Structure 1
Amino acid sequence: MSGNPVFGKVLAAVALLLGLGVSSPGADARAAYKTTQVAPGLYSFGAGLAFNAFMITDDGVIVMDSFDRDFAKASLAAIRKLTDKPIRYLIYSHNHYDHISGGEVFKAEGATILAHDATATWLERHPSADVVMPDQRWSGSKSELRLGRSLINLVYFGANHGEGMTVFQFPNERVIYTVDLVVPHRVGFAYMPDFSPREWERTLSEMDALDFDRVMYAHNAPVGPRSSVADQLKYLRDLRAAIDAELKKGTPFMQIPNTVKLPQYQTWDGYAQWLPMNAWRVLLEIAMGV
């Protein structure tokens, strides 16, 4: 594939682990990609392990996340099937390369690349040849982006996953697009890299207070019910409660991650492989405070 080869290999390995039909967001997956209209002018694009979002306004197109170069090219082609309006913005959800390494595709179309200040600052300190630096930054906990008659609220809940993690709220459409923070019917990814579980729980609780009816995701599905936010929070709280119970019982510390079982989630993706790793992450946060 012509995109980021490391990213493609990582997602292929994850897909193999989960038994997913889509191996990566690159050439092999392109036939499976599809565009889903979530609301008038608001779309999800992708398949399996990778879904971005885009909004067609009366003054141009706003794209949220690019994934790798191949995915970005496929996403642009899907947009061009719907409109020839200019790509006005590409917005980075957060700093992780796997979500933003194809930005050059939209930059070449004239897009202004926008990111939270925390994301941009991190990228300055950790540059990647595959990631285009943002042209503009926003800061604080909320910013409004208006284009034509369309509105997107950019919402930052503070620390949770990565740097500058942005939740996209579409108030007129009563939809949110959240990246990595909610993945329907999946336990936490592997050992929850770059997550603060406690802050993740807080964020989900605050996110659930927003006004919306449906959720767009970056992984597993294009869109689902608002209840998926509460479902993700309940999983994390149930995991923490199970670990606390083992600590109170006196279960030896090193045995707890393999002792904890949550059978109510055994049908969720990654349960058998990742539950012990999830438990380790939460246990170490409890024990070490970080």
Structure 2
Amino acid sequence: MTATGYQPTQPRYSSTLPVPSTADGPKIPDEGYLVQEIADQLYWLTDGGYGMMFSVADEGVIAVDAPPTLGHNITRAIAKVTAKPVTDVIYSHQHSDHIGASSIYPDTVRRYAHRETARQLSDVQDKNRPVPTDVFDTSMVVGEGKHSLQLDFHGPNHSTGNIHIFAPAQKTLMFVDVIFPGWVPFAYLAVSADVPGWIRAHHATRNYDFDTLVAGHLTRLGTPADVDTQIDYVTNLQEAATQALASVDFAKVTGSLDRANGWARFGAYFDAVAGQATDAIVPRWADRLAGADVFTWSNAWAMAEAVNIDFGTVTDYQIHP
């Protein structure tokens, strides 16, 4: 049932700009997944939408994440390259789209996560995401020697416990839901728990000495250049949102709206701000990052709100004595 006069939202994605070749990834085999060695027994596993990695260490396999879209293809992929059992599992963060198939791993594995991720998983008690057995606050190392993985927490970003997972011997870094190689970030700045922290996380990522980035999403592996490209996009977006907040006339945009409906007025204002920023950004980026025409508007909306309330760069609020 709908309220009188209300019209459901219509589909908005029937016509989009071409996906640039910079977003192209490897072809996914008919079996529905691709397993590819990155370097020295460290593997990337992807279905073209979600990705994870695993390391074949001396004692067994160290797996990072378990996206449900891959599900039991994870164990099939591991079996293709080794007969060793999975002994350790690392959670990048708590979200079920990345670790929601973690119950496929043996009950005997050790599970590692940041303390905040462990707290959130303990709260929800999801049988598909068993709670971690080992937690850390700042850094820890899983495994030994050339197969060791370094876990680091640099502060809240996409989620309050999202971590960097670094394989120094293979010069490979896994960091999920912040960098999207070849693509603009997912909607609303990847629906981040902390937008300033999400932005800072780009620079923390760039400080690692890596050649290969496992980003958790979409079509291909990343490089340091992909991080630099997204830093440029986010910087442009913040500049455009700041300019739009300063120049869009609140009274003009909301003048014809019901003054009693505060949400309608604020919604119209931020929609106009996001629209102006989007108009400035998409022509610059449509040929560089896929999906610029799809998610820049929602990213601009989220950035404008962050500029307004987190960064405090622009404000129309009146400070009363």
Provide closer, same or farther for how the CA distance between residues 229 and 32 of structure 1 changes in structure 2, counting only shifts above 3 A: same
Provide closer, same or farther for how the CA distance between residues 187 and 216 of structure 1 changes in structure 2, counting only shifts above 3 A: same
Percent identical residues: 24
Matched, 1:258 2:279: no
Q: Which residue of 1 aligns with 2:297?
A: 276
What TM-score comes out, normalization by structure 2 length? Answer: 0.76
Provide closer, same or farther for how the CA distance between residues 173 and 271 of structure 1 changes in structure 2, counting only shifts above 3 A: same
* CA displacement 1:19-49 (0-9 Å, x = unmatched): 99xxxxxxx9972311111101011001221
Provide closer, same or farther for how the CA distance between residues 98 and 198 of structure 1 changes in structure 2, counting only shifts above 3 A: same
What's the CA shift for 1:159?
0.8
- The within-5 A match list for 1:121-200 is 121-140=119-138, 142-147=139-144, 149-191=146-188, 192-200=190-198
What TM-score comes out, normalization by structure 1 length? Answer: 0.84
In 2: Cα distance, 1:251 partner to 1:204 partner? 32
Q: Aligned letter for 2:178? A: L
* CA displacement 1:68-124 (0-9 Å, x = unmatched): 1x623101111111111121111110011111111111134x322211111001111
Over the aligned positions, Cα root-mean-square deviation in angstroms equals: 2.6
Q: Which residue of 2 aligns with 1:43?
A: 43
In 1: Cα distance, 2:155 partner to 2:114 partner? 11
* CA displacement 1:37-65 (0-9 Å, x = unmatched): 11010110012211110001122110000
What's the CA shift for 1:177?
1.1
- From the CA coordinates, give the structure whose radius of gyration is larger: 2
Q: Which residue of 1 aligns with 2:66?
A: 66
Q: Which residue of 2 aligns with 1:88?
A: 87
Farther-moved stretch of structure 1 (48-57 vs 131-140): 131-140
Stretches of structure 2 that go unaligned for 5 or more consecutive residues are 1-10, 20-27, 251-268, 312-321
* CA displacement 1:220-269 (0-9 Å, x = unmatched): 23423211112122211110011112233345443110111312221423
Farther-moved stretch of structure 1 (209-218 vs 277-286): 209-218
Maintained 8 Å contact 2:196/2:310: no
SS, match of residue 170 in structure 2: coil
Stretches of structure 1 that go unaligned for 5 or more consecutive residues are 1-12, 21-27
**Which has more strand, going by share of residues?**
1
Of the two structures, which has the highest relative contact order with CA contacts closer than 8 Å and spacing of 6 or more?
Answer: 2
Count of residue correspondences: 267
Q: Which residue of 2 aligns with 1:9?
A: none
Provide closer, same or farther for how the CA distance between residues 213 and 49 of structure 1 changes in structure 2, counting only shifts above 3 A: same
SS, match of residue 71 in structure 1: coil
Q: Aligned letter for 1:280? A: W
Q: Which residue of 2 aligns with 1:286?
A: 307
Q: Which residue of 2 aligns with 1:79?
A: 78
